[in-house]
Amino acid sequence: MDLKQLNAFIAIAELQSFSAAAKMTGLSQPSLSRQLKQLETEMGVVLVDRYHRPLQLTEAGQFFYDKVSTVLTELNNITSMTQRLSAPSTALNIGFVPSVLYGYLPEIIATLKRQNPDIAVNLKDISSYQQIEALKSGEIDIGFGRFAHQDAWVQQILLRHERYLVALPKAHPLADNQEQRLIDLADNRLILYHQTHLPVPTMTNATTKSYSPDDTPPTNKPVTEPLLYLFAQYGITPLMTTEVSDLQVALGLVAAGEGITLVPASLKTVRTEQISYQRLIHENATSPIYLHTLKDFVHPKIPNLLSAVYRVYEQRGITYRRQQFV
């Protein structure tokens, strides 16, 4: 069994066609068929049912595909990381979620470049979830995200917690209330915009409303949507919700009077002619900012980036705990 045989099998399994798989792998159809036959002979198992169109995997073939595709992905990641370790890119490729761009990220990048005039920086707008695969593939070297991840290849540090604000239409009855409570917002349409949900279900949905977080609500299905999770911590279920593709669309709907939403405090300058941003009284109503990179390969310029982050935090009076990647 060798990599050529495995790659031939993966191509056939995914494309369900010898001709399409041959084109993708650059092999002739007879060569591709021979690679598959050799693999099946060595294993003593029929992996592909050749009598169906499109081609189908046998039960054994499906099991083998599920397992070996994961192994090959890991192998590709290892190969990519090894190549980058031997010849690191001179540029620092940084992924970020859009909400971070409204905060201190521009100032951090400016500080980084001022302290390191020779550094080249590439920024990429990419979701927290997609950043993990982008790190493994080498598309980015480090990422600013909003979610904790549990991945054997990735290490992350918490930079800080950013308070959530309530975004309400200017004409809303609560628009001038400077001490907002989640219980008072429950009868509004809540606009949800997160494309990444909480990775581990640690809270259950509520069927009754209660203000105190000490009152445990009855269990139902797990709540993984971040804003609903925040409400659920207080035993509250919003009366109505609307899901949209991103944060900007959510704020556009708020500006149009179609509902309310919660956003990190760094967005309080967006659409201020139509939107009122007010603080929540709840101390745990925060959105974390994480920085994550690979465990086995830390780009040589990442310590410079961390130094710039902490320099900006100090200038802005932001409380933080200094950390380093290992």
Q: What are phi and psi of 269, to 5 degrees?
A: -100, 0
Residues 72 and 107 in one domain: no
Q: How confident is the model at residue 220, as a pLDDT?
A: 58
For residue 3, give both structure tokens.
């990599």
On whether both 80 and 99 belong to a single domain, the answer is no
Do 81 and 98 have their domain in common? no
**260-279 pLDDT, tens digit each:** 999 999 999 999 999 999 99
- For residue 287, the SS3 value is strand
Whether the per-residue pLDDT at 203 is higher than 50: the answer is no
Higher-confidence residue of 122 and 218: namely 122
155 plus 293 within the same structural domain:
yes
Average pLDDT score over residue span 237-263: 96
What share of the chain in percent tops pLDDT 70? Answer: 92
pLDDT tens per residue across span 300-325: 999 999 999 999 999 999 988 999 99
The verdict on residue 322 lying in a domain is no
Mean pLDDT within 70-95: 79
Structure tokens at 284: 């745990």
Residue 321 lies in a domain: no
Residue 141 in contact with residue 134, Cβ under 8 Å?
no
Per-residue buried b or exposed e for 199-235, using 16+ beta carbons within 10 Å of the residue's own CB: eeeebbbbeebeeeeeeebeeeeebbbbbbbbbbbbb
pLDDT of residue 222: 84
Q: What is the mean pLDDT of the chain?
A: 88
- Range with the poorest average pLDDT among 118-132, 175-189, 210-224: 210-224
Task: Tell me how long the chain is.
Answer: 326
How many whole angstroms separate alpha carbon 267 and alpha carbon 274? 14
DSSP structure string for 22-44: HHHHT--HHHHHHHHHHHHHHHT
* Amino acid at position 320, single letter: Y
**pLDDT score at 296:** 84
Please count the other Cβ atoms lying within 10 Å of the Cβ belonging to residue 251.
21
Q: How confident is the model at residue 113 (pLDDT cuts 50, 70, 90)?
A: very high
Q: What would the mean pLDDT of 210-223 be, rounded to a whole number?
A: 53
How distant is the alpha carbon of residue 122 from its chain centre? Answer: 19
pLDDT confidence of residue 199: 66
**Helix 18-25 × helix 3-15 angle, to 10°:** 130
The terminus-to-terminus CA distance of the chain in angstroms comes to 37
Same domain, yes or no: 175 and 272 = yes
Integer Cα distance of 226 and 253 in angstroms: 19
For 30-61, write each residue's pLDDT tens digit: 999 999 999 999 999 999 998 878 888 999 98
Confidence of residue 161 (pLDDT cuts 50, 70, 90): very high
Which pLDDT value is given to residue 157?
A: 95
Enclosing domain of residue 293: 91-160+288-316
Domain boundary among 86, 108, 135: 86
User: Into how many domains does the chain fold?
Assistant: 3
Whether residues 97 and 182 share a domain: the answer is: no
Q: Specify the DSSP element, H or E, that contains 163.
A: strand 154-169
- The Cα–Cα gap between 94 and 157 comes to 15
* Residue 323 located in a structural domain: no
Answer whether residue 143 is part of any domain.
yes
227-241: pLDDT as tens digits: 999 999 999 999 999
In 10 A of CB 105, how many CB atoms? 20
Same domain (yes/no): 188, 303: no
Half-sphere exposure of 321 (CA within 13 A, CB side): 5
| pLDDT given at position 216 | 43
Domain boundary among the residues 86, 108, 131 is at 86
Residue 136 included in any domain: yes
Q: Is the pLDDT of residue 209 over 80?
A: no
Residue 215 is predicted with a pLDDT of 44
Confidence of residue 213 (pLDDT cuts 50, 70, 90): very low
The answer to whether 12 and 36 are in contact (CB under 8 A) is: yes
Q: What is the CATH number of the domain that holds 30?
A: 1.10.10.10
The predicted structure's pLDDT at residue 77: 73
Residues 122 and 265 in one domain: no
CATH of the domain at 230: 3.40.190.10
Query: Given this model, what pLDDT does residue 200 score?
Result: 58
